[in-house]
Amino acid sequence: MADSAEPIPPVVILDKSQMAENIGAVARVMANFGLSELRLVAPRDGWPQDRAWATASGADWVLEGVKVFDSVAGAVADLNTVYAATARPRETRMAVRTPRETARVLFDDRASGLNIGLLFGGERSGLETSDIALTQGIVTIPIDPRHHSLNLAQAVAINAYEWRTTVLDAPPPRFREGDPPASGALMLGMYEHLERELDDGGFFHPPEKRPSMVQNLRVMLGRSAFSEQEVATFRGVITALSKGRGRVLAKLAAKKAAGES
């Protein structure tokens, strides 16, 4: 395990893992490079799974500390900076970095007191765009396009190695100026508040385009790295606008009623 003087490493989140052996292999490489907190989102075969321990090669403390979540939103709720590991940005205008660049960003944010994480998709289908939209950036491994097959444990190992190297070799961290960004839970609350009001206002039209419009809004707002105070301010703006719309509708209803009487 990592030396106590080292910064707390990023949380590793596996979304919809299919094979216990892969979870065990991930735990093994996490332990190799000093990462210890593993979160599982809706693992296909539930948890715990005995076969994971067989491939973890003694990294029992990682598996014993696993936390299970029903959704990516729940798994990232207490994190401030999360990078999604994917080879396909999937039409999201987000920062795309290599594992080395990402490790530096996470190292600096951790030094500023932020909670950090790395999100990995399932073995077969990877990450959904709606889940990527809950993160602050994309980490892509620059592999040769002639053979881009990379298994889950390998992807985690490369990112974990770059984190470890950054911790051991990096110059002093660059501290984030100003207030730290809001947690995933606060950002999700803001997104859902805005989306409810936009639903009421008829913004999402036609209805079949709502999912893509929601994703675009979340990515756009997520890039701004809102602080807790900014989230509160923005939600206040949403509330004020919704109340204003309510007053306008009430006046129109009153005029209509007066005209009918």
pLDDT tens track for 95-106: 899 999 999 999
pTM of the model: 0.72
pLDDT at 91: 63
Report the alpha-carbon distance of residue 52 to residue 113 in Å, rounded: 32
pLDDT at 68: 97
Q: What is the mean pLDDT of residues 201-205?
A: 84
Higher pLDDT, 181 or 12: 12
Q: What is the mean pLDDT of residues 45-67?
A: 94
User: Is residue 56 predicted with pLDDT exceeding 60?
Assistant: yes
Higher pLDDT, 256 or 134: 134
pLDDT at 204: 84
Report the alpha-carbon distance of residue 59 to residue 28 in Å, rounded: 5
Which domains are assigned to the chain?
11-169 (3.40.1280.10), 184-260 (no CATH)
pLDDT at 70: 96
Chain segment 114-126, per-residue pLDDT in tens: 999 999 998 877 8
For Cα atoms 153, 140, 120, give the angle at the middle one, nearest 5 degrees: 45
Report the alpha-carbon distance of residue 235 to residue 240 in Å, rounded: 9
pLDDT at 225: 77
Chain-wide mean pLDDT for the chain? 87
Strands of the sheet containing 116-120, edge to edge, are 67-69, 38-41, 11-15, 116-120, 81-85, 137-139, 96-97
Higher pLDDT, 130 or 66: 66
pLDDT at 223: 76
Share of the chain above pLDDT 90, in %: 50
pLDDT at 123: 82
Q: What is the mean pLDDT of residues 173-180?
A: 68
Q: What is the mean pLDDT of residues 16-21?
A: 93
For Cα atoms 11, 17, 18, give the angle at the middle one, nearest 5 degrees: 160
- On whether the CB atoms of residues 186 and 81 are closer than 8 A, the answer is no
Q: Label residue 96 exposed, middle or buried (CB < 10 Å: 0-12, 13-18, 19+).
A: middle
pLDDT at 83: 97
* Residue 8: band (very low, low, confident or very high) from pLDDT cuts 50, 70, 90: very high
- On whether the CB atoms of residues 64 and 46 are closer than 8 A, the answer is no
Q: Three-state SS for 214?
A: helix
pLDDT at 57: 92
pLDDT at 4: 46
